[in-house]
Amino acid sequence: MALREIASKPYPDQKAGTAGLRKKVAVFQQPHYLENFLQSIFDVDARLKGSTLVIGGDGRYHNRTAIQTAIAMAAANGVQRVVVGQGGILSTPAASHLIRLRKAGGGFVLTASHNPAGEDGDFGIKYNVAGGGQATETLTDKIYEHSRQITRYKTLEGVYVDLERRGVQTVGGMEVEVVDCVDDYAALMQTLFDFDRIRDWFKRGHSLRFDAMHAVTGPYAQRLFVDMLGAPANSLLNASPLEDFGGGHPDPNLIYAKPLVDLMYSDAAADLGAASDGDGDRNMILGRGTFISPGDSLAMLCAHLHELPGYKRGLSGVARSMPTCRAVDQVAKAMGIPCYETPTGWKFFANLLDARRITLCGEESFGTSSDHTREKDGVWAVLAWLNVLAATHLSVRELAERHWKRYGRHYYVRHDYDELSASVATQVMQSLAGSLVDLPGKHFGDYTVSAADEFSYQDPVDGSVAVNQGLRVVFGDAARLIVRLSGTGTKGATLRLYLERYESQEAALGWKTSDALAPLVGMAEKIVRTAEITGRRAPSVIT
Ligand code: VG1
Ligand code: CO
């Protein structure tokens, strides 16, 4: 095995988005493309040298090839030990946990999350740092700058690691340890939840339908729900991970997980319905004929988490991303704990978690997690719900109704306009940004604008500032409209419009979400002028 320095020319586009670098597979297959990006990480983050590096992915097409490349480069860049999931598999939260457990210098998660996979699909890489969190913007900017000047990368020639064989292999002077992708994660879950109680819940005939959407959570669901908790095998749907995710779009929401949603609204519904995404960090929660919005799920878990074994000490605080509905704020207020509002993207929670300012956090994009890891965690959220159901003896619907009665209800929806031209998307943003100063005090139907601004965030722990994090129009506690551009797409620009309406009167708690939000849709068109500027009559996706 010879150490080689290979001459390479920079690519101009290796700037990470909301969560890692995502591109079409064909882009990653260009000569030296992945190598340049990885070398930029090795050059910029000195902590990797002489330390442990965790590597895994969601199993999508190109995963194994990319992992062999990453291992060979790690050996050439002075990494001491690589810990890699068997078969190249690790869910994003499991990888984050392994980084923490092994005190690794960092980790590569090869995934484009829920973006479609396969030869014509997307590929991506999330870089997580020591401590398990996603690289900060400051770090990814440095990596990007470096990638624009790179002239060579280092690799070890002739490396091939048998990813199926558990145990330690040697590559040059580096050890490669192939580990079961579920073991450590499952052990962690056992410290957080009351497995006996959940097992009893299943024994009493309660049922679960979990849709792994042919993505990474299949093996995790099999081990935890079926093998350890005793759920019948038919509790799992699409549990075998496939390189192309079965041609689907593993994004657990009302559109892309429609088969599960239909099932949960039929006579064949289970007590709990749930799904996760490509890399296992998202979750969707459903009861019989009931959809729990991610913002509600966060609020309901916030209200109940202290009843579960791993959280008996109580919650130090909570956080939600800015566009996420303010349901959790109500609970935090009642509990007397702080509630932080951060920009979109899990990386903004890491400092708050490390500083123990928060125990629980979540995003409207079907992400929820706690301080047990530094990523959002789909399977964790399902276990948390199972435990809450088993502990309270309530159904999902009953739990939701009780919650709304006590705290009021936030009706919520997100409208996505996909594949817009960059100029049209920018025009929507600029036109709204230009009108923000005139909005406060203006009336729209029953609503009056109390504030309108561009969201920026100063991290209370390290003082770093993130600007340009979305435009918001606030109508006191009653409603909000938020607009921002997605940072995870690989084709054109995606505009996201988020609508939130709060009701606390008992008669207003049981409305259909689309009915409740209809007046806001009309207001949004007047204020944001999406249809007028984009020429689109309707959003591409409503979740
Ligand atoms: C989206 C979501 C955001 C989430 C991110 C990564 O980003 O809105 O909440 O953290 O995806 O999720 P954007 O910039 O497209 O809105 V995942 O499951 O890809 O790791
Ligand atoms: Co994901």
324 in contact with ligand 1, CB cutoff 6 A: no
CATH number of 185-407: 3.40.120.10
SS3 401: helix
Q: How long is the chain?
A: 543
- State the number of CA atoms in the 13 A half-sphere of 60 facing the CB: 35
| Ligand 1 atom index nearest CA of 19 | 6
Q: Is 19 in the pocket of ligand 1 (CB under 6 A)?
A: yes
Task: Answer whether 266's CB lies under 8 Å from 246's CB.
Answer: no
- Per-residue confidence of the chain (543 residues) as pLDDT tens digits? 899 999 999 999 999 998 999 999 999 999 999 999 999 999 999 999 999 999 999 999 999 999 999 999 999 999 999 999 999 999 999 999 999 999 999 999 999 999 999 999 999 999 999 999 999 989 999 999 999 999 999 999 999 999 999 999 999 999 999 999 999 999 999 999 999 999 999 999 999 999 999 999 999 999 999 999 999 999 999 999 999 999 999 999 999 999 999 999 999 999 999 999 999 999 999 999 999 999 999 999 999 999 999 999 999 999 999 999 999 999 999 999 999 999 999 999 999 999 999 999 999 999 999 999 999 999 999 999 999 999 999 999 999 999 999 999 999 999 999 999 999 999 999 999 999 999 999 999 999 999 999 999 999 999 999 999 999 999 999 999 999 999 988 889 999 999 999 999 999 999 999 999 999 999 999 999 999 999 999 999 999
541 lines ligand 1 (CB under 6 A): no
The full DSSP string for 348-388 is GGHHHHHTTS-SEEEETTTEEEETTSSS--HHHHHHHHHHH
Residue 256 C-alpha to ligand 2 middle, in angstroms? 14
31 φ/ψ angles, rounded to the nearest 5 degrees: -55, 130
Q: What CATH number is given for 3-180 in this structure?
A: 3.40.120.10
Residue 206 burial by CB count (10 A; 0-12/13-18/19+): exposed, middle or buried?
A: middle
User: What is the rounded distance in angstroms from the CA atom of residue 543 to the CA atom of residue 415?
Assistant: 7
Residues surrounding ion ligand 2 at CB below 5 Å: 113, 277, 279, 281
Q: Name the pTM for this structure.
A: 0.97
Among candidate residues 153, 19, 37, the one with its CA nearest the CA of residue 95: 19
Residue indicated by tokens 């984009």: 534
Element (H, E) at 213: none
ipTM of the complex: 0.98
What are the angstrom distances between the C-alpha of 96 and each of 57, 128, 353, 420, 462?
A: 12, 7, 13, 33, 21
Whole-Å CA distances, 198 to 450, 460, 500, 510: 45, 38, 34, 29
185-407: same fold as 3-180? yes
pLDDT of residue 280: 98
> What pLDDT, on the 0 to 100 scale, is given for residue 1?
80
- How close is the Cα of 476 to the center of ligand 1, in Å? 27
Q: Is the CB of 375 under 6 A from ligand 1?
A: no
| The ligand 1 atom nearest the CA atom of 17 | 14
CB-based contact 341:319 (threshold 8 Å): yes
Domain residue spans in the chain? 3-180, 185-407, 409-542
CATH topology assigned to domain 409-542: TATA-Binding Protein (3.30.310)
Q: What angle do CA 229, 230, 235 make, to 5 degrees?
A: 100
Whether 113 is catalytic is yes
Residue 64 CA to residue 445 CA, distance in Å, equals 56
List the structure tokens of 542: 């409503």
pLDDT the model gives residue 169: 97
Name the 3-class secondary structure at 492.
coil
| Structure confidence at residue 414 (pLDDT) | 97
Question: What are the φ and ψ backbone dihedral angles of 265, each rounded to 5 degrees?
Answer: -100, 10
Residue 207 is predicted with a pLDDT of: 98
Cα of 23 from ligand 1 centre, angstroms: 15
Q: For strand 106-110 and strand 52-57, is the pairing parallel, antiparallel, or unpaired?
A: parallel
- CA-CA distances (angstroms) from residue 101 to 165, 303, 347, 419? 21, 29, 19, 40
277 lines ligand 1 (CB under 6 A): yes
How far apart are the CA of 380 and the centre of ligand 1, in A?
18
Ligand 1 within 6 A of CB of 115: no
Give the model's pLDDT for residue 489. Answer: 84
Query: In this structure, what are the phi and psi dihedrals at residue 245, rounded to the nearest 5 degrees?
Result: 55, 30
- Kindly state the tokens that stand for 521: 């849709």
Closest C-alpha to ligand 1, atom 18 = 113
Fill in the DSSP letter of residue 222.
I
Encoding tokens for residue 463? 């003082």
Q: Which residue has the tokens 């020639």?
A: 157
SS3 assignment, position 433: helix
